[in-house]
Amino acid sequence: MKKILWFVVMSLAWFSSPAQAPANARIVNLSQFTDLMSRPSGNIMVLNFWATWCAPCIQELPLLEQLNKSSPDVDVLLVSMDLDLDPDPEKVYRFIARRQLRSEVLLLNASDPNSWIGRVEPSWSGALPATLVINPHTGKRIFVEGQLKEGELEKMLAKVR
Amino acid sequence: MKKKLILLLLTAAPLLSFTPPKGYEVGDRVQDFRLKNVDGKMVSLADYKDQKGVILIFDCNTCPYSKAYNDRIIALHTNYESKGFPVITINANDPQMSPGDSFEHMVDRAKSKNYTFPYLIDESQEVARAFGATNTPHVYLLTKSGNDFVVSYIGAIDNNPRQAESADKRYVEEAIDALLSGKAVPTKKTKAVGCGIKYRNA
């Protein structure tokens, strides 16, 4: 009886323990994020704004994953807006594990959306998905709102290189 | 040279996945529209000519932001209808792209949440495009001016999607309160993260 009880308790503890943050995911606040965006050196950055509940965002993920896999000179950063509606990052961590996402995932923890959306990109309405490509060396950037089409990322990269 | 030109045209043309519609700006006069309500009846902006204004909200069933704001949208109608600013909600999402936003689902939502305001379907998406609505929920606060409705505020309901109580900037309420006391709207336009309206490719 004692053994069964112990087993049950340990199982419950195991299943209710919070998901570990995957190695490729971290939570960033607004100033950390804007610092990253304005870094003067390093690889070209592809910042994709998405969320686990956003269907068109999920549909375009394979294009971003493929880019991440094929281009070591490009940093693909999947910026999750999930924390905007749910302070618990576990849903995102489980999504990353389930989909085996390899790209870097940043969970943006920033309140008061109107105060920073324009700073990321003045023309952005705030709607997801959105993709911003930045060349840190030249400061050249290109932004697109809406679901990415096949080949679109390559065209955007060509424009900033 | 010819090759370069052709290449340029080919790369430039399909570069943008989606150009958000330009739409109305604050101060613009709004054209009338006539859309079907969940009760099957048609509703026009002209039906509201005796009101002080209208809180027009592009909304939908499925978007988590819309769900988070649903009670706040209902509260806006409760609090401001008697002051001359009733709510009208419009769903412009293409049901093929978003089956949970079909007319039948709209009817169910209005019924289960006891909507006392219209929940209109914008089947052609023309009204949403005319306004330039991009997200859900997206507010266009309209004020009666002579025979017309003029846009007084565009954007988010408040600055905290997650928690109504923690919102310290209640943009729509502040705008209406200002208008009712003859003052200028303090914040005329805001942005919010949200679900893009499911527009069919033009």
pLDDT at B14: 43
Q: How far apart are CA B177 and CA B185, in angstroms?
A: 9
Band of residue B17 on the pLDDT scale cut at 50, 70, 90: low
Q: Which bin fits B12, alpha (ψ -120 to 50), beta or left (φ > 0)?
A: alpha
Residue A5 has pLDDT above 90, yes or no: no
pLDDT tens digits along B123-178: 999 999 999 999 999 999 999 999 999 999 999 999 999 999 999 999 999 999 99
Q: Do B17 and A85 touch (CB under 8 A)?
A: no
For residue A65, give its domain range: 26-160
Q: What beta strand segments (E) does B59-161 contain?
A: 87-91, 119-121, 135-136, 138-145, 148-155
Of A53, A127, A155, the CB nearest to B135: A127
**Do the beta carbons of residue A35 and residue A126 sit within 8 Å?**
no
Residue A1 falls within a domain, yes or no? no
Residue B201 falls within a domain, yes or no? no
Band of residue B201 on the pLDDT scale cut at 50, 70, 90: confident
* Residue of B8, B17, B65, B138 best to disrupt the A interface, most CBs of A under 10 A: B17
Closest CA to A144 of A30, A40, A60: A60
Residue B2 falls within a domain, yes or no? no
Residue B17 falls within a domain, yes or no? no
Mean pLDDT over each residue of chain A, to the nearest integer: 92
Complex ipTM more than 0.85, yes or no:
no
Of B11, B156, B195, the CB nearest to A114: B156
**Do the beta carbons of residue A63 and residue A51 sit within 8 Å?**
no
* Residue of B191, B197, B200, B201 best to disrupt the A interface, most CBs of A under 10 A: B191
Residue A95 falls within a domain, yes or no? yes
Two tokens, residue B71: 């009670």
Residue A14 falls within a domain, yes or no? no
Q: Do A112 and B14 touch (CB under 8 A)?
A: no
Chain A residues in contact with B191 by the CB 8 A cut-off are 113-114, 117-118, 124-126
**Do the beta carbons of residue B45 and residue B118 sit within 8 Å?**
no
**Do the beta carbons of residue A131 and residue A76 sit within 8 Å?**
no
Residue B15 falls within a domain, yes or no? no
For residue B112, give its domain range: 22-196
Number of compact structural domains in chain B: 1
Residue B11 falls within a domain, yes or no? no
Of B20, B156, B195, the CB nearest to A145: B20
pTM attached to this predicted model:
0.87
Asked if A126 is an interface residue toward chain B (Cβ–Cβ < 8 A), one would say: yes
Q: CA triplet A109, A120, A125: central angle to 5 degrees?
A: 95
CATH of the domain at B135: 3.40.30.10
pLDDT average, residue stretch B74-100: 97
Number of compact structural domains in chain A: 1
Q: Do A126 and B64 touch (CB under 8 A)?
A: no
Chain A residues in contact with B11 by the CB 8 A cut-off are 155, 158
CATH of the domain at A30: 3.40.30.10
